[in-house]
Amino acid sequence: MFGPLISKPGTSRDNKTGSWRVEARPKFLHKNCIACRLCLLVCPEGCITGGEKNTYDCDLAYCKGCGDCAAICPKKDIEMVKEEGKE
């Protein structure tokens, strides 16, 4: 029986929203990071991972380039750089 539409967990990960970026992407400099975790907390996509100092990175497959991580980093250790390979 084909019944109601029901979706299973994890399926949104098939949608690579990283393709949305046109202008900029975050670059994690890994120089002055103090592992405050604010970048990880404020990412609306939840695509930043990290543990110890200077281990934070975002998953570019999903990053939409909003820049909230760069804006919040207290050590300015995240820079928004020009998105490569796009018109």
CB of 85 to another protein, least distance (A): 18
Going by C-alpha positions, the residue among 55, 80, 48 that lies closest to residue 66 is 80
Q: Residue 41 corresponds to which tokens in the numbers above?
A: 């907390």
Q: Is 51 in the site for another protein (CB under 8 A)?
A: no
CB of 43 to another protein, least distance (A): 7
CB of 45 to another protein, least distance (A): 5
Q: Is 66 in the site for another protein (CB under 8 A)?
A: yes
